[in-house]
Amino acid sequence: MEIEIKKYFYDIYESINSIENYLGEKRDFNQFQANKMLRRAIEREFEIIGEALNRIDKIDQTIQITSKKQIINMRNRVIPGYDKIDNEIVWGIIVRHLPILKTEISSLFE
């Protein structure tokens, strides 16, 4: 595996850890929705994750990551469409896709 891809895996892993740290153990949707700074920080981490996945895909399309296209598409919506971000969709990705992505990235990184 190319060193560049490993760097992107590391960036993704770090962003996932950051999101988990921002949310804490409680993981409360109402708190997330009410806290603009928290939402913006998480949106930025998703930009990083989406961009890293996009770059990985350009280097090696054979790397299988379950929600790769959905996360890349979300990144593409977050950047130009900051005013159209649906907090429930972001939360759904946090709850459903982020744990799977973390597991897959950990496996691929090793």
Per-residue pLDDT of the chain (110 residues; tens, 9 = 90+): 689 999 999 999 999 999 999 999 888 999 999 999 999 999 899 999 999 999 999 999 899 888 888 888 777 666 655 556 788 888 988 998 899 999 999 998 77
List own/partner pairs for 11-16 with CB under 8 A and 24 or more apart.
11/48, 11/49, 11/52, 12/48, 12/49, 12/52, 12/53, 12/101, 12/105, 13/102, 13/105, 13/106, 13/109, 15/45, 15/46, 15/48, 15/49, 15/52, 16/45, 16/49, 16/98, 16/101, 16/102, 16/105
- For residue 39, the model assigns a pLDDT of 92
pLDDT at 109: 74
Distance CA 82, CA 36 (A): 12
- Residue ranges per domain, the chain? 3-109
Contact between 16 and 105 (Cβ < 8 Å) = yes
Q: pLDDT value at position 78? A: 64
Name the DSSP class of 83: G
pTM for the full predicted model: 0.87
